[in-house]
Amino acid sequence: MQREIVDGQICQLYNCHLCCIETEMLLTKLDIHRIVKKTSIPAKEFVILNEDGRPMLKNHQIDNKVQCYFLDSEGLCSIYEIRPEGCKFYPFIWDLTNHHIIADDYCPHHCKFRKSPSITKSLEEFIFRLFGKL
């Protein structure tokens, strides 16, 4: 059965946070601004530039796991309410090669998520904000 992505229901159902391990999640300026404002954590603590010079979430090592700066020891997102936009859309991502939205097969439950027209539209707008074009 497929479900629309709504507040991590499927992730909670399977107690899964694989996407937060060795994350490569890109960040918008708005994401960074919101997180700094709400947490008072300086951007340099949780932002790193990827090889294209785009800001993404920083990982750190905890008990042999390289994981998102914001993943807590219970496997939960410590900034869930204000998490980056890209995290909300995951497992849907932008396929940079073929220029369309795909469900990332790195997510073991990606087949269970349904991409509604409204999610597609919001995700396209998000991608536009990230890359400036589609």
Residue ranges that bind ligand SF4, judged by CB under 6 A: 20, 23, 25, 57, 68, 70-71, 77, 79, 83-84, 87
Q: Shortest gap between Cβ of 68 and ligand SF4 (angstroms)?
A: 3
89 vs 114 by CB, closer to ligand SF4: 89
The tokens of 66 are what? 């390289």
61 vs 98 by CB, closer to ligand SF4: 61
Q: Shortest gap between Cβ of 97 and ligand SF4 (angstroms)?
A: 23
Reference 48, options 60, 33, 58, 61; nearest CA is 58
| H or E element, residue 92 | strand 92-95
Specify the length of the chain in residues: 134
7 vs 95 by CB, closer to ligand SF4: 7
Alpha-carbon distance of 62 to 5, in angstroms, equals 28
